[in-house]
Structure 1
Amino acid sequence: MTMVDIEALVAPAAAEPLAPIPTPVDQVAGFPHSDEVPEGCVVVDGVDTDDFFYSTDIEEVPYATRTLADGSDYELNMMVYTPFHDDDNMPDGRPEAGWPVIVYMRGAGFFKPRKNSFNSLYIRLAERGYVVVVPEYRPAPVAPFPAQMQDAKTAVRFVRANAQRFGIDPDRIALFGDSAGGHTALLAGFTGDNEPDTPDYAQTSAEVRCIVDWYGPTDFTMMNYYPSSQSHNPAQCPEGMEIGGVNVLDHPELSRQASPMTYLTAERPTPPTLIMHGSRDLLVPFNQSCRLYVTMRELGKDVTFYKLNNASHAAYGFRSNKAIAMVLDWLAERL
């Protein structure tokens, strides 16, 4: 066995054992600096700030029970992703008024999303200091429009009514959704405490501070006029199922009622809205976001539109650090 004279190579800091240095969490950054640099050790400067910062607690919480047309009950839960620090080396970091909140509506063509299918996104948002709430909602085959937007608004109210329990700021809630979930986030955010609504937690407001829409449908009757990998008219297509299992173009009034742009008016205030859409979206035509953006601008709304050139539907750009950073930067200003 080869012996190494470690004491000759790395001298101890003191001749006698040292007493502990009590260090409160808020003074960790001032703990004594070590100036040791053994030969061959590479000193890396500028790594004294944590980019993702928080760990994430995940829990499942029931928030509503719906009675379906057949009289049966349909239980709705939400996944809650909460930032935290799991050791004594960092301060808790929670703002005095509580964490800001993102209520995220996951898309799945108005059907039931696969649970935790966007876990990486939820955790990325939570690790930057947001409580992320992902509600279950009734899928279109179980209950068509306006069930999804009603469930989204109930989820917002439930979280706000339980602000102390979740450690959140009830005045800083955003709605965020992708695809069909973007459609739901827009509808819930545009209508707030107005109809279509439900009486659940009616004493608490469903109004939100801002909305993030990733490639959500906005005008059902115009979807088939632009390139797509599927038809958006038949009764069994996602949009047809959302309006009750009927043909979209044969039922223009139902389609109008289920389209977010219908609920925009110059008179009613609209939360600031961020729209992001890929130019090669094969499921929701890019024009859907153009129609929403132009309408909001004409009505004098606070709206930001990012076209992700060559990005597709939920991929080829949307699963990138750059796309997430754009959302976080925008939220930092609005929320």
Structure 2
Amino acid sequence: MVYKDLFPVMETVLASGVTLLGGLQYHRVDGYRPLTLDLYSPSKKGQPHPRQLPLLIYIHGGGWRRGDSHRCGVFTDFPRLLGDIASRGYVVAAVNYRLSSEAKWPAQIDDIRTAVSFLLNQADVFGIDPQRVYAWGVSAGAQLAASLGNPAESVSSQDQHCPVTASVHGVAAWYGVFDFTTFGDQALQLGIEIPDDAPEWRLIGAESGQDRTARIRSASPAFHTTSRTSPMLILAGKKDRKVPYLQSMQMKDALDRVGVPNFIYIYEEVGHSFICEDEPAETNRVNLSAINKTIDFFDALAF
């Protein structure tokens, strides 16, 4: 199935004064839909910012099989939130990528790296500081953001046009999968039922053999941490029934082993998307806390 992004190509000024360029095409792979991103900039419409600003890449979730650049979990007006972040002095790029029904791994990380390269190649146009580039991913996007935070050569590319040098200087990862080889055992340990057609396996592909084993390892950022991996903020909900919170603990352990600065917070009463089924107020509180921790993390790195 080929997905059509119905978010219109547009340029508008948000209430925060941030300029939004929505649906900007950054790449087209032959046989696939155009790949787009939404760019939020605190500069005036049609004018570059007078100084270079840090770039924050947002990578959406949706189990690698759905989702888009202008949605995130329980947030009802996510573009406004991204605009508010941009108003703090960031260029924010929310990126779309090929979904698992369109292409298997590593197409997704190829797309994200291509988007980063597209933006950095036009850093002067967009007012971006290439030395301050960060990634924030949620759920499936957390796996992609963490992969982007590893040295680029650790993940092989299927796209000859994919820039292998695209990387970032800090990552925030919300409730992500970081090791596909331990995902099933951790779910079993916590009493979480994972179906045979789970999103994680749709991403990798159903065929067996050496190629699939290599792809599983390639898609697992916890396998590829080195001393050059980006500093990371890791957030998860202990009651998550989609992604075991133990994945986040394992990612922290992998970072600790190679001496990479990291910060982890496990919220006790919420599940995936930081949702508390019993108390909506807790859902709101935790999501607000997570946003504030994420902004504080990037501010400390960028400014």
Confirm or deny a common fold (TM above 0.5): yes
User: How far apart are the structure 2 equivalents of 1:81 and 1:172?
Assistant: 16
**Which residue of structure 1 lines up, in the alignment, with residue 294 of structure 2?**
327
* One of 108, 130, 135 as aligned partner of 1:170: 130
Structure 2 Cα separation of the partners of residues 306 and 241 of structure 1: 29
5+ residue gaps, structure 2, are 1-14, 73-77, 276-282
Q: 1:239-277, CA deviations, whole angstroms, 9 ceiling, x for partnerless residues? A: 1111113589xx5443222211121235xx111111111
The structure carrying a bigger helix percent of its residues is 2
- Which secondary structure state, in structure 1, belongs to the residue aligned with residue 28 of structure 2? strand
| Preserved contact between residue 60 and residue 69 of structure 2 (Cα < 8 Å) | no
- 1:238 maps to what in 2? 199
- 2:38–2:69 CA contact under 8 A, matched in 1: no
Query: Which 4+ residue blocks in structure 1 deviate beyond 4 angstroms?
Result: none
Match of 1:140 in 2: 100
1:200 is displaced (CA, Å) by 3.1
Q: Which runs of 5+ in 1 are unaligned?
A: 1-52, 87-91
Aligned length: 267
Give distance in 2, aligned partners of 1:145 and 1:178. 18
- Alignment CA distance shift 1:169-1:229 (3 Å): same
1:152 pairs, out of 97, 112, 118, with 112
Whether 1:107 and 2:61 are equivalent positions in the alignment is: yes
The match for 1:184 among 144, 168, 183 is 144
- Partners of 2:87 and 2:287 lie apart in 1 by 16
Question: Post-superposition shift, 1:283?
Answer: 1.0
* Whole-angstrom CA distance in 1 between matches of 2:51 and 2:155: 30
Change (3 A) 1:64 1:85: closer
Flag the 1:195–1:286 CA change in 2: closer, same or farther, 3 A: closer
Q: Could you say which residue in structure 2 is the equivalent of 1:214?
A: 174
The C-alpha deviation readout for 1:43-64, integer Å capped at 9, x for no partner, is xxxxxxxxxx942221121001
1:310 match: 269
AA aligned to 2:218 is Q
2:222 touches 2:251 (CA, 8 Å); kept in 1? yes
Is the alpha carbon distance of 1:240 and 1:128 closer, same or farther for their aligned partners in structure 2, counting shifts above 3 Å? same
TM-score by length of 1: 0.72
Structure possessing the higher radius of gyration over alpha carbons: 1
Using a 3 Å threshold, how does the CA distance of structure 1 residues 172 and 221 change in structure 2: closer, same or farther? same
- Percent identity for Structure 1 against Structure 2: 27
Distance 1:93 1:195, change over 3 A: closer
CA RMSD of aligned residues (A): 2.8
Q: Which amino acid letter does the alignment assign opposite residue 166 of structure 1?
A: F
